[in-house]
Structure 1
Amino acid sequence: MLSEKTVNALIESALVERQDLFLIDFTISPESKISVVIDGDKGVTVEDCMFISRAIENNLDREEVDFSLDVASAGATSPLVNIRQYRKNVGRTLGVKAKPDLKFEGELTAVDDAGVTLEWKTKEPKPVGKGKIVVNKQAKIMYDDILEAKVIIKF
């Protein structure tokens, strides 16, 4: 049986060598299928996936345990789960669902250890008279309050 600890150590060792990459998730199914999801500060190439795949596969013995291995990138529509993902997406538009029942869509303008800052423009009624004016809005959202955050891809 594959040890999660062993596979994690192999992944971490490869990531020490390639510090531009980082782990998003990995699982091992009861059928010994290893699934690894990575991301990178500058995106992920096929070669990056192959590098991680080889780091795992070349250090496990198929005579001991038969396994399958899948290494993939997080993908453009995957939720952000790592602070490094937020940092690499500064300047892009995010859709955020937050506690208690809030939704935001705006430009990610700042990221720190506590949370993120989004900015957007909205139309609001004029304080005096009829019509609407464009108002700049900003929200600081703590990581603990984020239920889901995704990059919004606009065409």
Structure 2
Amino acid sequence: MAGINFKDNQQTFCIFRKIFYFCIRKCAESKFLGDKVPYFIENMIEKQDILDIVSSAAAEKGLFIVDVIATPAKKITVVIDNFAGAGIDDCVFISRKIEASLGDRIADFDVEVSTPGLDKPFKVEQQYLKSIGKDVEICLSNGEKHKGKLLKYSGESIEVEVERMVKREGKKKKEKVTEKINFNLDKIKTTRLIITFK
């Protein structure tokens, strides 16, 4: 016979009591009693909040934002760069701007500001523009890989000069030929800078 299962409802009630206690406990510990939301909820920060802070600060120094991550674990990660190459001073500048904007709340967050790793995939158009004339590796959505010199960036596609070995009719050895290929950005999975040490 269908009906109320006392045992199941008792378990549900116990779970509810634990959650309720946790919220009240957090409020009490943080002196947020009454009708205010729990401290651990109120003190969360959104990615857009950090973007707003960093955008104005980056503009002051001629920097561009590569990435911003704000996790529920209260870790804020900001990646910056500029066309001349961002340095430690730039990272410190942005970090201090974030700290100043968050005020006393900064004690609750772990803030990390860095420049992009040389082997990391491009995330923003400025990285393409910065890399014109340099060698890149492109991985397409279908798995194909191409290496060559980045020539142009249009916002929708890139032009790359690639070299490949071709066997000409009537010749025994393959010859190196250079050709220009256009790749649509929506077909590209990743683009990385090729690092060469001279």
Q: Same fold (TM over 0.5)?
A: yes
1:29 is the counterpart of 2:71: yes
User: What percent identity do the matched residue pairs reach?
Assistant: 29
* Residue 138 of structure 1: aligned partner: 180
Question: Partners of 2:189 and 2:175 in 1: how far apart?
Answer: 31
Classify the secondary structure of the residue corresponding to 2:142: coil
Residue deviations 1:54-106 (CA, integer Å, cap 9, x gap): 11101112258611210000121111111110111111110100132321000
Question: Partners of 1:129 and 1:61 in 2: how far apart?
Answer: 72
Classify the secondary structure of the residue corresponding to 2:102: coil
Corresponding residue to 2:159 among 109, 117, 120? 117
Q: Does the CA contact (< 8 Å) of 2:69 and 2:78 recur in 1?
A: yes
Question: Partners of 1:81 and 1:64 in 2: how far apart?
Answer: 27
Shift of the 48–64 alpha-carbon distance from structure 1 to 2, 3 Å rule, reads: closer
Residue deviations 1:90-134 (CA, integer Å, cap 9, x gap): 111101001323210001111112111111222211123322222
Query: Highest relative contact order (Cα 8 Å, sep 6+), 1 or 2?
Result: 1
Q: Does the CA contact (< 8 Å) of 1:2 and 1:65 recur in 2?
A: no
Question: Partners of 1:101 and 1:39 in 2: how far apart?
Answer: 29
Classify the secondary structure of the residue corresponding to 1:90: coil
| Alignment of structure 1 residues 1-155 onto 2, 5 Å | 1-4=43-46, 5-18=48-61, 20-62=62-104, 66-155=108-197
Q: Which has the larger helix fraction?
A: 2
Classify the secondary structure of the residue corresponding to 1:94: strand
When the two structures are superposed, what TM-score results if normalisation uses the length of structure 2? 0.72
Compare 107-116 and 89-98 and name the one that shifted more. 107-116
Q: Which has the larger strand fraction?
A: 1
Shift of the 99–63 alpha-carbon distance from structure 1 to 2, 3 Å rule, reads: closer
Q: Does the CA contact (< 8 Å) of 2:44 and 2:72 recur in 1?
A: no
Give the length in aligned residue pairs: 154
Computing the radius of gyration from Cα coordinates, the structure with the larger value is 2
Question: Partners of 1:51 and 1:65 in 2: how far apart?
Answer: 18
When the two structures are superposed, what TM-score results if normalisation uses the length of structure 1? 0.91
Letter in 1 for 2:79: V
Shift of the 123–110 alpha-carbon distance from structure 1 to 2, 3 Å rule, reads: same
**Which ranges of structure 1 fall in alignment gaps of 5 or more residues?**
none
